[in-house]
Every structure is written in structure tokens, then in C-alpha cells.
Structure 1
Amino acid sequence: MQQGASAACSSQRAAPAGSSTVQQRGRSVEQRSLEAGTAAGDCFSPASAPGSKHVVDQGEEYHSTWAHRAWVWGATALLAATFLRGCAKVHDPVSALAAAAAVVAAYYLADFLTGMYHWSVDNYGSGATPIMGSQIAAFQGHHQRPWTITKREFCNNVHEVFKPATPFAALCLAATSWTAAPADVFLSTATLLVCMCQQFHAWAHMKKSQLPAAVDALQAAGVLLSRRIHGMHHRTPFEGNYCIVSGVWNEALDAGGSDAGFFRRLERFVAARTGVEPRCWYPPDYSWQEEENGVVHEARAK
């Protein structure tokens, strides 16, 4: 994620419940773009996203700090302990099969959850949103300069996901005294995969020559999100392919990009109930970057 930009809250519209854009998705993105004086395909042009692909924001910090490492490895240790305690409860083929099934279920759930999370921060809130503000800002900045995610050291890249997961990881470990093996391995695996999604995301932006051989093999097998699959998300207005563990849910959730897709239905539901339309209904707006850039840098440094 690029952390040096704030979320485009100014591009998020509030529409009266029951409006035409709520009853149906409304005008296509291309139509809205033309009405705004630009084609959707031009919204990510150098004019609206200044700087070449070789430019890295000098105000950004790409190295891991000791605080980053503490959050990441602390949460990882808690989750590993939970997983191992679950494995220790496996004493026969039936319990082993149940634990294995729990791992598989956790893998699929994690991909779905990352899609829900990614969709929400891409489309709602701003850099000023409590708790999630810095992550919302980061994802919006990432759309403008997606290559910067490949510059980050591991703990720098993932600590913002591990940090809020740490209390839950501690709770999972504390609960192992009375939970069954499948629950232990399911919760620890799902949580770890969700926390690692930002690294899977980074790998999906790297060239084959930059990847560890094992990661390249897992991407080729469809176990981890590939560059080809994730590349489809980085097309304005960033309205699909949100899942970032493996992307296995993307096709089913997006329904080929039709208005019958899961996220399109969810967006219409939210708009009907709250009057707030998602950002992906409109062309991207990066005009917020300069005025809020310093605020996000300050938030990122904490």
C-alpha cells in the first residue's frame, strides 16, 4: 500500500435513499466520467496521477521499525501457539481429518474476508475515519502508485493488519483450554492468512524474477494471488477482484462485472439505507492528496 496519501472521502457522494442510483446501479462509470469531462480510462493517466512509475514518495518510510516487528512477530507467536495446541489435541484419524478440513475452510474464509475488507476500505470512509483511517488512506494511495508496496520491508508492510489482530490472537490462545482442535487450527489459520494478505498482495505486484521460487509456484498453482489476477483490480474504477489471499472468490463475487454481483448488490443496499454511494461508482479523484498528505504521513509514523 502507498501510505503517503489520504482517502478520497471528498469523492464519496451521499445520495438520497431511493434515488435512481440506488434503485439500480445507475449510469455506467463511463457515462459518469464523460459527464464529468473525462473518460474513465483516463482517470489514472499521468495527468491525474503525477509522477512516473519510478517515483517513490520521499516522505514515506519503507523500512521496518522495532515496533513493526514486535506487532508482527508477537501476533504470529500467539497464533502459532494456538495452532500447535490445536494440533496437540489430534489423537486419531477422525480428529486429524477434522483439523485438516478446518485449515482448508480457514483458507477459503480468509480469502472472502480480505475481499470484504478490501471492498470496504476502497469504497467508504476517509483518512479521518477512526481506527481504519490510515488503512483507508493507504489503499487509496496504493491505487495511484501501486508499485510502492513492493518497496516495503515485510514488517513495515503487514504490521497495520497484525496490530489490530493481536488482541484477538491472544483471546484465541487463551480459549484453547476449552476449545476443540478444529476450532484452534481454524481460528489461528484464518487469522494468520488475513494478516498476511498484505504480503500476498505485495507479491502479486512483483515480477516473476523478484519472487521466491516457492511463492512463484504457489501463485502458478492458484494457491496465492497472482499478478495476472490482481492486475484486473487495478483498472479504474477499482470495482472488482477485491480478494487478496488467493482470489478464488473473485469470479463468484463479481459475477463477471455485472450489476448482479455480490458487491454491486451490497453497494445498492448500503446506498439505500444510508444514502452513501461507494467510490467505485465514480471516476477516481486524487485532488485530496496534496492537502492531506502531511496528515497521513503523521498517522503512518505512529
Structure 2
Amino acid sequence: MFGSQIDAFQGHHKWPWTITKRQFANNLHALARVITYTVVPIDLIGHDQPVVMGFVGMASGCIMFSQLFHSWAHGTKSKLPPVVVVLQDAGVLVSRSQHAAHHRPPYNNNYCILGLRPRSWSEPNSDWTEEAETFSTTSLP
């Protein structure tokens, strides 16, 4: 059932640059198929819920294009569109240097395609959430 995913994962770590050589459709078709089969029923059920549809659209787009973001993390700056370099430098998309750690053993970390890290990863205790809640309640009129 998961043989093709395991094979692709192992192959990608043997030859990580190949993702930059594939055509756009080749990199994205598998995720696009899953998104299509997922979004169509959600659209039929929740078409009158704009917030749900907005979330589904944004999440689906990010999921579908995650392979493109990943291939950009393997590209050289000189071959990337300037806007991609800006987004990588700003930390919105994962940069080449950040992603390089993903290709070093033991292959058990650095999987995030976006450059964003939730605050809870660097501050595992919940003190900061109480601080945010206190701030929001004290700022009320």
C-alpha cells in the first residue's frame, strides 16, 4: 500500500536533485489527484459555508503546491524566480540551507516545507499562551 511512497522517499534521499529536473505536472499530479477527490465532495456538502470553503481552498492549494515548494528548496538561487528567493529569504518558504538538514542522516527532522515554525516548538511549556490570553483580556474596553 505504501511501497511507492517509501520508494520515492528513499530515492529522493539518494538523488535529491532529481526533483528539480522533473516537469511541473510530474511533480504535482499525485497530490492534485488526491486534492481533487477530497475537495469535490467537500464542495458539494459545504458549498454554502464560505469560511469552510476558504479554508479548504487555501489548505488544498498549499498541500498541492508543497512539492513545488520542496523542489524550490533544492534549486539554486540563480535559477529560481526572484519572488521565490524573496519568500525563502523572508522565511515564508523553506530555504535551500534550511532544507539541507533534511537530507542528512538520520532523516527524522526538518520536514516542514514552509519556513514557519509554531511558537510552541521553541517554547514547549504553555506559559506563553497564558500571557497571550492575559493580553487579549486586558485590552478589552
- For 1:175, the equivalent position in structure 2 comes to 45
Q: 1:201 aligns with which of 42, 59, 70?
A: 70
1 CA distance for matches of 2:119 and 2:112?
Answer: 10
Runs of 5+ consecutive residues of structure 2 not aligned to the other structure: 125-141
Q: 1:249 aligns with which of 103, 108, 117?
A: 117
- Name the aligned partner's letter for residue 163 of structure 1: R
Q: Secondary structure at the residue paired with 2:74? A: coil
After superposition, the C-alpha distances for 1:157-180 in whole angstroms (9 at most, x for unaligned) are 11111112211121232234332x
Q: 2:31 aligns with which of 161, 166, 175?
A: 161
- For 2:132, the equivalent position in structure 1 comes to none
After superposition, the C-alpha distances for 1:85-140 in whole angstroms (9 at most, x for unaligned) are xxxxxxxxxxxxxxxxxxxxxxxxxxxxxxxxxxxxxxxxxxxxx1x432221111
Give identity over the alignment, percent: 43
Shift of 1:225: 1.5
1:212 and 2:81 correspond: yes
1:150 and 2:20 correspond: yes
Q: Secondary structure at the residue paired with 2:103? A: coil
Give the structure, 1 or 2, with the largest relative contact order (CA under 8 Å, sep 6 or more): 1
After superposition, the C-alpha distances for 1:36-77 in whole angstroms (9 at most, x for unaligned) are xxxxxxxxxxxxxxxxxxxxxxxxxxxxxxxxxxxxxxxxxx
- For 2:139, the equivalent position in structure 1 comes to none
User: Quick check: which has more Rg, 1 or 2?
Assistant: 1
1:162 to 1:218, Cα distance in 2 relative to 1, 3 A? same
1 CA distance for matches of 2:67 and 2:109?
Answer: 17
* C-alpha contact 1:218 1:224 (8 A) present in aligned 2: yes
TM-score where L is the length of structure 1: 0.38
After superposition, the C-alpha distances for 1:229-250 in whole angstroms (9 at most, x for unaligned) are 1111111111211111x13238
2 CA distance for matches of 1:182 and 1:223?
Answer: 23
1:183 to 1:201, Cα distance in 2 relative to 1, 3 A? same
- For 1:50, the equivalent position in structure 2 comes to none
